[in-house]
Amino acid sequence: MQPRILDGKALAGDLRERIKSAVRTMSAEGLVPGLATVLVGNNPASVSYVRSKHRTSEEVGIRTIDVTLPEECSAEQLSDAVAELNERSDVHGILIQQPLPAHLDAEVHVAAVAPAKDVDGFHPENLGRLMRGRRCMVPCTPLGVVHMLAAGGKSTRGANVVIVGRSMLVGKPLASLLMQKNDTGNATVTVCHSATRDLPEHTRNADIVVAAIGVPGYVTADMVQEGAVVIDVGINRVDDSSRRRGYRIVGDVDYENVAPKTSAITPVPGGVGPMTVVMLMYNTVQAARGAYSQDPLTGEQQ
């Protein structure tokens, strides 16, 4: 079987162009979407992620506001910075880059972001609205997965979906999205995790398997039925002395052996990863237009 490669890089490029067009129209009408990033400390990975987000924002015409605080900043200082961004009319989206230093409680500070500006989609109000099937800010990676399935022509209606991983970043919000009563939902969803008994028995019965457990090569060929769709959310570094950097990036799926059994599969890198960043842009435009009222790309009322 020759699987279809679900190319997240190409799809993200297409979405970037659509978002750029939407931003151009909005800007001509006097509304320039603004994204503020809040970085605490100088963790190299976090600094790199923020730069990447700024670069993509600039590509599509979104104004970026960079707030950088010292590693030792107090909870009050971070709260004050977030409160100021909540009040700014030129800031439509706020992202607190994680992880935060150990002395800061991420949940407290994420909950301090105005729900309508929570472009990460992790504010309790947004997660509650998601569970209720209401219009809201949706976490970027799950939203990217749903877009990939739809763009790849993989219907979720009535499908048996198994998600391996129960994190708030991916597993739980994705399960809620796929259960929604709409064209990109209507799936029967099973969420598996480290305490699941006989995990392969669940995954072998799945039409769609989503791997989001954070373990390199965790999903193997014997865990997937012939013709399944496999979405690999994992991004893991493994040592590789043959590479200049001394490592390579792999997913949670044993791609080489799983791919021949599938009807469609995402690569790593180049699969879900590029979609996460472009969904952040999507959410920022959504926030500028009115998150709970209309679709940012079509302008249709919700």
Separation of alpha carbons 259 and 205, rounded Å: 17
Cβ-based neighbours of 144, under 8 Å, separated by 6 or more: 8, 272, 275, 276, 278, 279
**Among 14, 20, 80, 97, which one carries the catalytic annotation?**
97
Residue with tokens 């791609």: 255
Phi then psi dihedrals of residue 229, to 5 deg? -100, 130
Orientation angle between helical segments 272-289 and 8-28, nearest 10 degrees: 20
- Listed in sequence order, the DSSP H helices in 214-271 are 255-258
Q: Which of 53, 117, 172, 261 is catalytic?
A: 53
Q: How far is CA 63 from CA 27, 115, 119, 211, 288, in A?
A: 11, 20, 14, 34, 11
Q: Which of 126, 224, 138 is nearest to 174 (CA)?
A: 138
Query: What are the Cα distances from residue 21, in Å, to 16, 27, 137, 297?
Result: 9, 10, 21, 9
Please indicate whether residue 97 is annotated as part of the active site: yes
Structure tokens at 6: 């679900």
Of the listed 118, 120, 232, 254, which one is catalytic?
120
Kindly list the catalytic residues: 53, 97, 120
